[in-house]
Every structure is written in structure tokens, then in C-alpha cells.
Structure 1
Amino acid sequence: MSEPAGSPGLLSRPLVPVASEDDAVETCRTAFPRIAAAGGRPVVVHVIEKAGGAPDKASVEQREAAAEEAFAAVRDRAADHGLDVETDIRYGTDVVDAILAAAADADASAIVFHPRGGSWLLDLLTGDVRDRLIEESDRPVVVLPDPEGDQ
């Protein structure tokens, strides 16, 4: 399926959420070759989830340091593909709302992610975020499979 003439492609300005350094490595391995091939300029977001009145699991400083580690991995992989990447840390009590706000603020062409592999329990726990992104987004949500040959 091709894009209409003059319209930006799905991967022209994608918002790419990452949850951790390991997730960033895996997501970038899958997304960045496709984004580079499309001539895109990704915005990578990490959401620091706040407990909303309850004590947080880790300090904000610890979570910001973890976000910076993820972004360092992102920048390394972006350089490997010749991509100019922006990073954005968001804070919120709802991860989906924070991702959707980041997409709107960046005027993202799509929200792009690579699902984490795992058990049915992991899917049950993370599926809510995936499903809500798909249902509530005002822009396309692209779920990328593993690159061919990396299965």
C-alpha cells in the first residue's frame, strides 16, 4: 500500500516509546532500519510513571537516570542508522495518556513500537497499554514485527 502523493509517511515522524535500556535496544533494532529507510526523524519517549499519591517504587532521580541510560542506547543505535533522534521524558500517573500527549506535542506521524516477547502473563499485564494505545490514539499505531531473519 502506498502513501498518497504529498502526504507524509507513517514513519516520517514516529513517536517510539521505550520502557528501559533493554527495551530501547530491542525496539531500536527493530524500528530504526525501517525509519531510516523511510527518511524519518523519530522522537523517542520514556514515561516515568508516578504513583499518584502512593510512594513511588524508586526516586525520580533513579528513574531519570534509567531514562538517560535508555536514551544513550537509543542515540547509539540512531547513529548506526544515520538518524537524527529526539528524546523526551514524560511524567504521569497513566503511561498511555503520557504517550498520547507526547505524540500530540511532537505532531507524530504514528506511534511505533515493538511488542515485548514473553509469556501470557506478561501479555496480560502489558496488553492493556498496547490495547489502549490502539483504541485511544488519534493517529496510527504501528506494531513492528522482528526484522526478517532475526527470529
Structure 2
Amino acid sequence: MMTPAPFACPPGLTPMAHLRCEVGALASLGAAPAGERRFVPLGAGEVSGPELSGTLVEGGIDWQWMRSDGVLEIAAHYVIRADDGALIEVRSEGLRHGPAEVMAWLAAGEAVPRQDYFFRTLVRFTTGAPAWAHLNRTMALATGERRARQVLLDLYRIS
């Protein structure tokens, strides 16, 4: 049996920002062939951290697909207005899942510690602002927490 080669260059994670977003009421498009398709309007919020601070521009949306296996696929699209006024587009795709009872508590709006379920997204940025051009080359990993009317994300720049 061969000994596996060591991983040559594991990625690093650098704390980037905390994000708090108010969320609207969930709207369902109904059962589709692969599961329930739905969306959640994204409202106001704040971004604060060592690498990015500002506010969320209202009008973003979180598209969701509740798969038949109980996994929620997430595709959020929103805009951050940085403290200097620059606009930064954010695209985030990920998964949220956990034990059935935990997911039922979340669906009912109950507070559940984030360590009791999996909520991760891969985040990409786009901007035309010269001061933030480095974000066009940045990928981030977010760990999330769902509250009754809020989503909390901790963003980590992948290096």
C-alpha cells in the first residue's frame, strides 16, 4: 500500500468580517421535482471586521432549495456599501443541514447554537471600486447562524 503524499499547500483562513442581516418572510414556490424552491428577502444589516466594514443595501435575496434529503442549498446575492461608500456585490453559495429536530427548531424560529448544525457558504465579491479591487480576486468561507429574523455570518478570507 502506498503512503499518501502530504498536502503541499493547505489553505489558510484569515478573519475578514462579521455580517448581520435582517431577513424577511420566507416565500415558497412549492414543490419542484428535486425539492421545495423558496426565497427569503434580505434587508438591512451591518458588516464589521478587520478587512471589511459597512452596511448591507436592502434588496438582496437568498434563494433556497430544500432538498428531499433535508439539506438546504443556499444561493444569496446582495450588496455591501463599504464605509467609504464603495458598492461591493456579494454572491454566496452553500449548505445548511443538521439533525431533523434541530432543523425543525430553526424552521420554527427558535434559537439554536450554531455548533448544533452545519451552515457554511463560499463567498465571492465583485466591485469596480479601486480601493476594493483585491476583493475581485478573493474567496471567503462563511460560517453561519440562523436566528428568527436574522442571519449572522463570520467571513474568513481563504489564502
Higher radius of gyration, 1 or 2: 2
The alignment's TM-score, normalised by the length of structure 2, stands at: 0.28
